[in-house]
Amino acid sequence: MKVFGDAARCYDLLYRDKDYAGEAQFLHNLLQCHFPGARTLLDLGCGTGRHAAHLVQEDYEIHGVELSGPMVARAQDRWQQLAPDRAGRLTFSQGDLRTIRLGGLFDAVLALFHVVSYQLSNDDLRAALVTAREHLKPGGGFIFDYWYGPAVLTDRPGIRVKRVEDEAVRVTRVAEPVMQANDNLVDINYQFFLQDKVSGRLDTFQETHRLRYLFKPEIDLLLKETGFQHLLCRAWLSDQEPGFDTWSVYSVAKK
Ligand SMILES: C[S@@+](CC[C@H](N)C(=O)[O-])C[C@H]1O[C@@H](n2cnc3c(N)ncnc32)[C@H](O)[C@@H]1O
**To test ligand 1's pocket by mutation, which of 55, 62, 76, 115 has the most ligand atoms within 8 angstroms of CB?**
115
Q: Are residues 63 and 132 in the same domain?
A: yes
Query: Domains in the chain: how many in total?
Result: 2
* Pair (82, 203) in one structural domain: no
User: Measured from the CA of 111, which atom of ligand 1 is nearest?
Assistant: 6
Task: Write the pLDDT tens digit of every residue in 41-77.
Answer: 999 999 999 999 999 999 999 999 999 999 999 999 9
CATH of the domain at 12: 3.40.50.150
* 218-247 tens-digit pLDDT: 999 999 999 999 999 999 999 999 999 999
Do 158 and 58 share a structural domain?
Answer: no
Domain identity same for 107 and 156 = no
Does any domain span residue 15? yes
Do 163 and 247 have their domain in common?
A: no
Note whether 95 and 199 are same-domain residues.
Answer: no
**What digits encode the pLDDT tens for the residues 146-199?**
999 999 999 999 999 999 999 999 999 999 999 999 999 999 999 999 999 999
Range of the domain at 58: 6-149+215-254
pLDDT averaged over the chain? Answer: 96
Question: Does 145 share its domain with 155?
Answer: no
Least reliable range by pLDDT among 15-24, 83-92, 182-191, 245-254: 83-92
Ligand 1: which of 42, 54, 66, 144 to mutate, judged by most atoms within 8 Å of the beta carbon?
66
CATH number at residue 195: 2.20.130.10
Residues 208 and 221 in one domain: no
Report DSSP letters for the chain, one per residue. Answer: --TTSGGGGGHHHHTTTS-HHHHHHHHHHHHHHHSTT--EEEEET-TTSHHHHHHGGGT-EEEEEES-HHHHHHHHHHHHTS-HHHHTTEEEEE--TTT---S--EEEEEE-SSTGGG--SHHHHHHHHHHHHHTEEEEEEEEEEEEBHHHHHHS----EEEEEE-SSEEEEEEEEEEEEGGGTEEEEEEEEEEEETTT--EEEEEEEEEEE-B-HHHHHHHHHHTT-EEEEEEETTSSPPP-TT--EEEEEEE-
1 domain-assigned:
no
